[in-house]
């Protein structure tokens, strides 16, 4: 059997490293032909030495310049956004793993799909900012979007062999994050260190903070809508602290199919890499008797306004509001991690940007990028002027 040739975008991150872990276990089935990251030249160099891809890319030009002469011979080192898109469309690749963090992964994702490459996608921000552009790009070439995000993988797995028209609704499970039980006053005091300590998953910083605000769950509503063609009214969030059921699909006959497993991203990553095949592995197994109790509850939209903002914004598809929500949130999360704003200010930044935005009604790439740039600028000003709460209180309580 010929090996599947894989490009990993975001190879030095949490998902990227776990993807390479799977490749390491199954070198008989998988071959790395491209690796790319932002600026971590030393980690990329080590990966290149181990996996010997044809090409590698450092988006940051300075990092690329510093790393260039440390690359083994025979490996082409690309640089910049252009380089990232080039490696995403590498002619020899069969599958591209999209594991960049943030909307920074949008253009390379579009490049991969335009080249007809199937994409195993973890990087959710492009699905928020430009879900229609992404799904249209895939439809044009027939490239497949194979979800890595565990909830989306669960839905995808529950739908194998099913007619998508038979979906009544999707139950998207949420661990609730580390602050599920904190009241509004306590949420205002949350520090970056606390927000980065997720109870059930180990992930990159940005998605960990998003999980704590529930923005992440809101973004998964966008992913679910676009990947499975559902209306937001068919997507319900269920708080399930144990992260054992990764999501469920309820069909028109009332049957609910759930996908379960330990919280370990290597499982959904592997599923996306080998789909439609199931491949044996020696990952730890879920022992239900040890898991003991599975609990379920409704999310609290008042304590976690990011989730409400996402539901409001996903209904404004076809406009540039989703791009604004995503960009303002990216800036706010960064500002929170730098100590410039509080945890509870994050939704205020997004709400203020949405409030102030003059939407464009066409979701073209130019409009998405313009809205993204506008929202970043707006959010940076809001953060540095400390003017977030005053401007946004009305926005989050609509």
Q: Which of 86, 118, 125, 372 binds ligand NDP (CB under 6 A)?
A: 125
Pick the binder of Mg ion from 118, 149, 330, 334 (CB under 5 A). Answer: 149
User: Do 347 and 312 touch, CB atoms closer than 8 A?
Assistant: no
The answer for residues whose C-beta is within 8 angstroms of residue 280's C-beta and 6 or more apart is: none
Query: Exposure of 59 by Cβ count < 10 A (0-12 exposed, 13-18 middle, 19+ buried)?
Result: buried
Task: Enumerate residues 23-42 that contact ligand NDP by CB under 6 A.
Answer: 37-40
Nearer to Mg ion, 90 or 267 (CB): 267
- Asked if 223 is part of the footprint of Mg ion (rule: CB under 5 A), the reply reads no
Closest CB to ligand NDP among 104 and 267?
Answer: 104
Contact at 8 Å (CB) between 111 and 90?
no
Where residue 323 falls (left for φ over 0; alpha for ψ -120 to 50; beta otherwise) is: alpha
Q: Taking the complex as a whole, how short is the minimal distance between the CB of residue 101 and ligand NDP, in angstroms? A: 4
Integer CA distances (angstroms), 205 to 202, 209, 229, 334, 338, in order: 9, 6, 29, 9, 12
Check if the beta carbon of residue 197 is closer than 8 Å to that of residue 152.
Answer: no
Q: What is the x/- site pattern for ligand NDP, positions 245-284, by CB under 6 A?
A: --------------------x-------------------
Q: Torsions phi, psi of 353, nearest 5? A: -65, -45
Taking each helix axis from N to C terminus, what angle separates 41-51 and 14-25, rounded to the nearest 10 degrees? 10
In the block, residue with structure tokens 């059921």: 245
- How many residues are present in the chain? 398
Q: How far is CA 112 from CA 49, 145, 271, 390, in A?
A: 24, 11, 20, 42
Binding part of the chain for ligand NDP, among 6-14, 276-284, 285-293, 346-354 by CB under 6 A, reads 6-14
Minimum distance, C-beta of residue 390 to ligand NDP, in the bound complex (Å):
30
Please say which residue, 133 or 152, places its beta carbon nearer to Mg ion: 152
Q: Tell me the window of 93-101, 278-286, 314-322, 336-344 that interacts with ligand NDP (CB under 6 A).
A: 93-101
Containing H/E element for 101? none
Q: Which does 204 bind (CB under 5 to 8 A by kind): ligand NDP, Mg ion, none?
A: ligand NDP
DSSP structure class, residue 231: -
Of 149 and 345, nearer to Mg ion (C-beta) is 149
The tokens for 246 are 């990764």
Residue carrying structure tokens 């003017």? 387
149: nearest Cα among 240, 235, 229, 268:
268
CB of 147 to Mg ion, least distance (A): 9
Whichever of 68 and 385 has its CB closer to ligand NDP, that residue is: 68
- Tell me the longest C-alpha to C-alpha distance in the chain: 62
# of chain residues touching ligand NDP (CB under 6 A): 30
Residue 207 binding result from Mg ion, ligand NDP, none, given CB thresholds of 5 to 8 Å by partner type: ligand NDP
CB 305 to Mg ion: min, Å: 19
Q: How far is the CB of 124 from ligand NDP (least distance, A)?
A: 5
- Based on CB atoms, which residue is closest to ligand NDP, 104 or 375? 104
**Interacting residues with ligand NDP (CB under 6 A):** 10-16, 37-40, 59, 84, 99-102, 104, 122-125, 149, 201, 203-207, 265
Residues of the shown chain interacting with Mg ion in the complex, contacts defined by CB under 5 A = 149-151
């Amino acid at each position: 059997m010929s090996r599947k040739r894989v490009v990993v975008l975001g190879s030095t991150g949490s998902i990227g490293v776990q993807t390479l872990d799977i490749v390491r276990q199954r070198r008989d089935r998988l071959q790395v032909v491209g690796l790319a990251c932002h600026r971590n030249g030393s980690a990329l160099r080590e990966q290149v030495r181990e996996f010997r891809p044809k090409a590698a890319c450092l988006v940051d030009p300075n990092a690329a310049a510093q790393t260039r002469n440390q690359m083994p011979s025979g490996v082409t080192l690309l640089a910049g956004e252009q380089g990232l898109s080039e490696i995403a469309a590498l002619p020899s690749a069969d599958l591209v793993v999209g594991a960049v963090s943030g909307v920074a992964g949008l253009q390379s994702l579009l490049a991969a799909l335009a080249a007809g490459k199937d994409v195993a996608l973890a990087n959710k921000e492009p699905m928020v900012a430009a879900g229609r552009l992404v799904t249209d790009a895939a439809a044009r070439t027939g490239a497949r979007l194979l979800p890595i995000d565990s909830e989306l993988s669960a839905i995808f797995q529950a739908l194998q062999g099913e007619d998508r028209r038979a979906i009544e609704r999707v139950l998207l499970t949420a661990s609730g994050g580390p602050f599920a039980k904190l009241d509004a006053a306590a949420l205002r005091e949350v520090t970056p260190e606390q927000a980065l300590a997720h109870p059930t998953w180990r992930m990159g910083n940005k998605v960990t903070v998003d999980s704590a605000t529930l923005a992440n769950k809101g973004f998964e509503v966008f992913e679910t809508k676009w990947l499975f063609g559902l209306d937001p009214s068919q997507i319900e969030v269920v708080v399930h602290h144990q992260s054992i059921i990764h999501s469920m699909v309820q069909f028109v006959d009332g049957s609910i199919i759930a996908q379960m497993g330990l919280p370990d991203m290597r499982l959904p990553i592997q599923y996306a890499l080998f789909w439609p095949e199931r491949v044996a592995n020696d990952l730890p197994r879920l022992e239900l008797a040890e898991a003991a109790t599975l609990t379920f509850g409704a999310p609290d939209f008042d304590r976690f306004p990011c989730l409400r903002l996402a539901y409001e914004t996903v209904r404004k598809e076809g406009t540039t509001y989703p791009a604004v929500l995503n960009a303002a949130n990216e800036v706010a999360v960064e500002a929170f991690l730098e100590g410039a704003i509080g945890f509870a200010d994050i939704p205020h930044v997004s709400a203020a940007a949405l409030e102030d935005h003059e939407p464009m009604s066409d979701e073209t790439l130019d409009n998405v990028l313009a809205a993204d740039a506008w929202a970043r600028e707006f959010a940076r000003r809001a953060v540095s002027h400390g003017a977030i709460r005053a401007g946004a209180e009305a926005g989050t309580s609509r």
